[in-house]
Structure 1
Amino acid sequence: MAFPHLCERTMTIHSYRTQIIWTGDQGSGTSSYDAYTRDHLIRVAGKAAIEGSSDPAFRGNPARHNPEDLFLASLASCHMLWYLHFAAVKGIVVTGYVDDAEGAMDEGSLRQPGRFTDVTLRPRVTIGAGGDVALAAALHDDAHHACFLANSVNFPVRCEPVIEISTV
């Protein structure tokens, strides 16, 4: 059993709330395709607001986060948090973690809606001197299988980790 700590739990449903506030009315609302901006705020109670927009390819503000950025960041951070959990449980001391994740989205057509087709996580993990590099690498597979978000998508999420040993 790969995740005994998960199997011991009873089924629990978690609920999340997010408020999206469109701020792009330029005075005439959506009277035409180019009459408004795609700017909006993303709010979660008790947290700093995130300024959002659409991707610049879709008339968005390049200075703001877009849903695609946030989607990719969500997948990468979910994987990282599970990885850190498994590392702590297995005695791997992680001292650094940077992921240069990449995702591909097919814009689609009139008959086929757009969708993400692929995500590649590229975590560069630094572990303490004397750490087990093979185990540290293998824990990425466990993290992938445990990640709530990777389990929720219908496309491949690949992981190409690099494990480095700390020289400090």
Structure 2
Amino acid sequence: MAKEHRYEATVTWTGNQGTGTSGYKAYGRDHEITAPGKPPIPGSSDPAFRGDPARYNPEDMLVASLSACHMLWYLHLCSRDGIRVTAYDDRATGVMAEDAGGSGGGRFTSVTLSPQVTIAAGDPDHARALHAEAHRLCFIANSVNFPVEVRPRITLAG
């Protein structure tokens, strides 16, 4: 039997400006995301949908989840294979398309991860190849129905 892991999060809407959802412009999109024992994350909708640009939106969080999952697998694989990573930075980007006709729906069509990795020890070609294995193992990438492309760049320290 496969091992299962369970996760819990609470999303609490904090955007009631006095009249609830009495109209599209009458309520804020602000919310707070919490999980047991962790600090809260301020959330909102994308500014294109009347959200607060200073808060994380679900689309930001999806792109960040893909990036973080890939990074964590990659670091694990590097440590296993004797590649010493000293820096990792990914400027991940996602593309979401709204449905035609203004129905309000939409979907992500792609995410591109662009990890910039600095290594102090190990073979740069092997370090680059491990990105494919990290992508194959990433729980989040295995859970989405759109392509996730990985474009790594490896730099030797010093």
Give the TM-score normalised by the residue count of structure 1: 0.91
Aligned to 1:124: 116
Displacement of 1:113 = 3.2
Distance 1:32-1:15 versus aligned 2 partners, 3 A rule: same
2:146 counterpart of 1:155? yes
SS of equivalent residue, structure 2 residue 45: coil
Aligned match for 2:92, one of 94, 101, 104: 101
Letter in 2 for 1:35: A
SS of equivalent residue, structure 2 residue 16: coil
CA RMSD of aligned residues (A): 1.2
Q: Distance in 2 between matches of 1:112 and 1:118?
A: 19
Q: After TM superposition, list the pairs within 5 Å mapping 1:10-159 onto structure 2.
A: 11-109=2-100, 113-129=105-121, 131-159=122-150
Distance 1:52-1:112 versus aligned 2 partners, 3 A rule: closer
| Identity score, percent | 57
Q: Distance in 2 between matches of 1:42 and 1:103?
A: 21
Displacement of 1:107 = 1.3
Q: Distance in 2 between matches of 1:63 and 1:133?
A: 38
SS of equivalent residue, structure 1 residue 128: strand
SS of equivalent residue, structure 1 residue 33: coil
Q: Distance in 2 between matches of 1:146 and 1:158?
A: 14
Letter in 2 for 1:13: E
Q: Distance in 1 between matches of 2:99 and 2:46?
A: 15
Task: Give ranges in structure 1 of 5+ residues lacking alignment.
Answer: 1-9
